[in-house]
Amino acid sequence: FNCTRSTVHREGQYQVTTTQHFLVRRCGSVPFEKVPVDASSKMPDDHMDSIEPYDYSELKPFSTAYLPGFLADKFDVTAEQSRGRADTRCESTLRFALRNTVIGYESCLTLGERTELNRGKVHYALMPVWMLNTKWQGKDFLFAMNGQTGKLVGDLPMSWGKFWATFAAIAAPLSVLSTVLALTFLG
């Protein structure tokens, strides 16, 4: 990292800024286990990322006994196809962790980086995700919920007419009230 720290002082009528430059290096190793990567092309990756984390201590061996009455989706993205996404997640987490150790500087610019990944074994898991797909005014809306935590993500349909009506219903009385108060106290 190229980091800087500046000080400002006066010399007569001049304001002098002194900037110190530091070359800061970081090196680290982070073990990653159970990095979740969505293996379904039907589910947007950002939805799956948003409903994490999962409690992996509650993982159980797969059994079809869990599925009656539910629709389950089998993976259609291979481990090899998902590897790049898993690598990116690990690298960005490592980069963020190392960057957070560089403190006490006003600016910090990454000059270069080199990461090495030692890949482990891939395990498939069926995670408890509840899906809701609904259509409103001809547009599809997808919601996903983590079945362990209840964390919910999705894009809510919005009625702009109701939004602006609510805004006007709140803004109009506040505008009148502020005008009355201003005239009362300011003359």
Mean pLDDT of 108-123: 88
Q: What is the pLDDT of residues 116-165, one digit of tens each?
A: 888 888 888 888 888 888 888 888 888 999 989 999 998 877 777 888 89
Q: What is the model's pLDDT at position 138?
A: 87
User: Each residue of 99-130: b (16+ CB within 10 Å) or e?
Assistant: eeeeeebeeeeeeeeeeeeeeeeeeeeeeebe
Residue 85 within a domain:
yes
Q: What is the model's pLDDT at position 169?
A: 93
Q: What is the model's pLDDT at position 67?
A: 83
Residue 162 within a domain:
no
How many domains are there within the chain?
1
Range of the domain at 103: 1-30+81-123
Helix (H) or strand (E) run with residue 154 in it: strand 152-154
Residue 140 within a domain:
no
Residue 10 within a domain:
yes
Peptide bond into 53 cis (omega under 30): yes
pLDDT-wise least confident of 14-23, 28-37, 68-77: 68-77
Q: Which residue has the higher pLDDT, 187 or 10?
A: 10
Q: What is the model's pLDDT at position 96?
A: 92
Residue 20 within a domain:
yes
Residue 142 within a domain:
no
Q: What are 16's two structure tokens?
A: 């002098």
Long-range own/partner contacts, residues 45-48 (CB < 8 A, 24 or more apart)? 45/85, 47/142, 47/144, 47/153, 47/154, 48/129, 48/144
Q: Which residue has the higher pLDDT, 73 or 26?
A: 26
Mean pLDDT of 91-97: 92
Residue 54 within a domain:
no
Residue 119 within a domain:
yes
Q: What is the pLDDT of residues 34-89, one digit of tens each?
A: 899 988 888 888 899 999 999 989 888 888 888 888 878 788 899 899 999 999 99
Q: What is the model's pLDDT at position 174?
A: 92
Q: What is the model's pLDDT at position 5?
A: 96
